[in-house]
């Protein structure tokens, strides 16, 4: 359920960032793609999945500047403008979750890589994995702070 919720959040953020669509309009569009109306979308993903996807989007939006600062300090050799927009959307959501949610890092990184492989380019999985591994090292070294994780 959480993987599908993360995919939904990714699609919304991607449409918002690339298409210049208002986040709420992108959310409604994504729900329509899941089903013919928002109620049938909850059948596809479940209320818990929809709530989780929305939590990720709202959380990222409230911490966007901080997440982008952390990512720009973590990504080596690439600016946001040079990166594939799919990779950037995945990284933004994963970095938000690594920093601000109680999700354990290993499964979160694994899911982000799977989403990158599914929706990104040939090297997206490897790129996303590398960036998130660097972010994890920064967190483990104490250079960056994150909320305590569930074990």
Q: For residue range 1-13, list pLDDT tens digits in order.
A: 788 899 999 999 9
For the chain, the straight-line distance linking the first and the last C-alpha, in angstroms and rounded, comes to: 19
pLDDT attached to residue 43:
60
CA 73 to chain centre: 17
* pLDDT tens track, the chain, 151 positions: 788 899 999 999 999 888 888 889 999 888 888 764 555 555 667 788 889 999 999 999 999 999 999 999 999 888 888 899 999 999 999 999 999 999 899 999 999 999 999 999 999 999 999 999 999 999 999 999 887 765 5
How much is the mean pLDDT over the chain?
88
Share of the chain above pLDDT 70, in %: 91
Distance of CA 52 to the CA centre of its chain: 12
pTM given for the model: 0.88
Alpha-carbon distance of 48 to 44, in angstroms, equals: 11
């Amino acid at each position: 359920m959480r993987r599908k919720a993360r995919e939904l959040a990714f699609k919304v953020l991607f449409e918002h960032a690339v298409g210049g669509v208002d986040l709420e309009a992108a959310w409604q569009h994504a729900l329509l793609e899941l089903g013919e109306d928002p109620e049938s979308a909850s059948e596809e993903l479940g209320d818990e999945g929809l709530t989780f996807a929305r939590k990720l989007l709202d959380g990222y939006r409230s911490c966007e500047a901080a997440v982008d600062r952390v990512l720009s300090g973590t990504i080596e050799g690439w600016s946001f403008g040079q990166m594939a927009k799919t990779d950037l959307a995945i990284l933004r959501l994963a970095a938000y979750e690594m920093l601000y949610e109680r999700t354990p890092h290993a499964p979160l990184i694994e899911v982000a890589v799977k989403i990158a492989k599914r929706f990104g380019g040939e090297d997206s999985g490897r790129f996303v994995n590398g960036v998130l591994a660097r972010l994890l090292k920064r967190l483990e070294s104490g250079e960056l702070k994150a909320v305590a994780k569930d074990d």
